[in-house]
Structure 1
Amino acid sequence: MAADFLPGFAHHRIETAPGVVIHARSAGSGPPVLLLHGHPQTLSTWLHVAPRLAQGRRVVAMDLRGYGDSGKPEGGERHEAYAKRAMAADAVAVMRALGHDRFAVVGHDRGGRVAHRLALDHPRAVERIVVMDIAPTATVYARTDKNLATSYFWWFFFIQPAPLPEKLIGADPEYFLRHHIENQSKTPGSTPPDLFAEYLRCYSDPACRHAICEDYRAAAGIDLDHDAADSDKRIAAPLLALWGARGVVGRTYDVLEVWREKAEHVSGRALDCGHNLQEERPDDVMAELMRFLP
């Protein structure tokens, strides 16, 4: 049996679109907060954050479609089922099903990209937004150079036509997953063996690996189209950007400046860690969230 990293959190399975069921967990009462994980994690990545937030807030954590125990639909000709627009619609549907029409959203990595689209497509639903260790997708692609392409090689590997990346990763999923997490984290031991085993449980599923590739294929195609169409839109909700000072984002971008190009009210700072802030520096993350969230 898989370990339970969020004891006391209720399980939910919510149909958000025809044939798409999202796995979510919730606990607490008070102002609602939605937590969105990234790649290659699941909602269990919030194990150090969600229980503490739930002491005074209604916390919902969900597995993005394609990840964890959520549904893994076919991507479609343009990978539209994994567009951040579709994932953002999942998030709104989950929160509405749980009784929340307006909420704060905290997104790490891919979850931050979903949160960005959520704030653009559903501005009345988003009270505040936190993006963790990302630059906007369109910015990343527009400013890619050799250093970025080397550091983020999977951005260009995963988008190759199926089934090339799926088959290559499938030759040794554990090796690929371990290399990925250890390369991005700058805090040894911050992803303990039982949590890694949970991520591997999901990554060992060929449908999950295919969905992850579809997520990145969407980011390199339909997501950029959506971003271009909305290039004049800015996020109205207050935005907090957090990033790892020792990670690729912190080394590559003026993070506050790139988010000020996309949002009206931006604040934030670097934390002394790599990419996985919520696992590497949960106390620092909590301190920032407690100051920022309602």
Structure 2
Amino acid sequence: MPEAFTPFDLPVGDPADGVTIHGVRGGDGPPVLLLHGFPQSHAMWGPLAADLARDHTVVATDLRGYGESARPADGENHAGYAFRAMAADQAEVMTSLGFDTFAVVGHDRGARVTHRMLLDHPARVTRAALLDILPTAYVYDHVDRALATAYYHWFFFIQPADLPERLIAGDPVGYLHSLLGGWGSGLDAHPAEALAGYERAFADPAARHAMMEDYRAGASIDLEHDAASAAAGERIAVPTLVLWGGRGVVGANAESPLEVWRRAAADPALVTGRALEGAGHFLVDEQPGVTTAAVREFLDG
């Protein structure tokens, strides 16, 4: 991240739980929150954060369980790592920093947190960008051989603790490299300093367990929350940008990601977006200039 950014650690939720969220803040202007995905941290946003900080207040955080944020207890039915809990964390961080409303840009798991924030905290988010995902419930409802092959880790990570954790422990950094170099991307796309941070976190057994809990929640309590939201008629109600990698898994879906997300909105016209050619899953790392330009155009629109 740019040197001008100031780090912070903020407590969130019940003080008895001892959850703190680590992040950085830089720039001045309309606030925008950046939420990373698996298996990364806020460090992934370097080029985009530096550009947006020219005329925005940029906040980039580590989700609970990731990077330097706290790794709370799993909770009943993995609720400690539900997207609802993560969205509440981030809304509270922005309140603590003095922002009642803000834009959000999320990638991968961070985009799923963003989706949940749009449903749980609709008055807080002014605009949202969702990078390289389809809705969680949609993915589980449309599993075929191709998707199961590409997303095998979804079904591996949700196995009961601590089976995945013990298997990954045999070569955690080697396994991490296979993930960061997959899904249509290459390992060399990740800046060396950021990669070193991902390696440090993934070498920590507690961090790996927290990441598995994120996925276990995604296959259990998150789906319950999604079903309840659908039954209540909760929809995306703000302008939303959807970007995906032209070489990645999301763009290989039978339906256009744009059409899938338009069905999740109160008004399909709220959702715009496109594929970024020459990129796999890790858009910001592979195509930083193109991704930054697309996000900036959307935020300034």
Q: Do they superpose with TM above 0.5?
A: yes
Q: Is the 8 A contact 1:244 1:271 kept in 2?
A: yes
Letter of the structure 1 residue corresponding to residue 36 of structure 2: H
Comparing 245-254 and 217-226, the one that deviates more? 245-254
Tell me the CA shift for residue 188 of structure 1: 5.9
1:54 aligns with 2:59: no
Q: Is the 8 A contact 1:6 1:44 kept in 2?
A: no
- How does 1:77-226 map onto structure 2 within 5 Å? 77-187=76-186, 189-226=188-225
1:247 aligns with 2:240: no
Q: Is the 8 A contact 1:16 1:93 kept in 2?
A: yes
Structure 1 unaligned blocks of 5 or more: none
SS in 2 for 1:128: strand
Q: What percent of counterpart residues are identical?
A: 52
Tell me the CA shift for residue 11 of structure 1: 0.8
SS in 1 for 2:55: coil
Residue equivalent to 1:281 = 287
- How does 1:55-74 map onto structure 2 within 5 Å? 55-74=54-73
Tell me the CA shift for residue 190 of structure 1: 1.2
Number of equivalences: 290
What is the TM-score with the length of structure 2 in the denominator? 0.94
Deviation beyond 2 Å, 4+ runs, structure 1: 184-189, 192-195
SS in 2 for 1:250: helix
Match of 1:12 among 5, 8, 15: 8
Counterparts of 2:187 and 2:7, CA distance in 1:
31
Residue equivalent to 1:230 = 229
Letter of the structure 2 residue corresponding to residue 64 of structure 1: L
Q: Is the 8 A contact 1:49 1:282 kept in 2?
A: yes
Counterparts of 1:141 and 1:202, CA distance in 2:
28
Tell me the CA shift for residue 93 of structure 1: 0.5
Deviations 1:190-242 (A, max 9, x none): 11333211100111111110000000000000000000001121110111000
Tell me the CA shift for residue 266 of structure 1: 0.4
Q: Is the 8 A contact 1:185 1:280 kept in 2?
A: no
SS in 2 for 1:225: helix
Counterparts of 1:245 and 1:121, CA distance in 2:
31
Q: CA RMSD in A?
A: 1.0
SS in 1 for 2:188: coil
Letter of the structure 2 residue corresponding to residue 291 of structure 1: E
Q: Is the 8 A contact 2:104 2:128 kept in 1?
A: yes
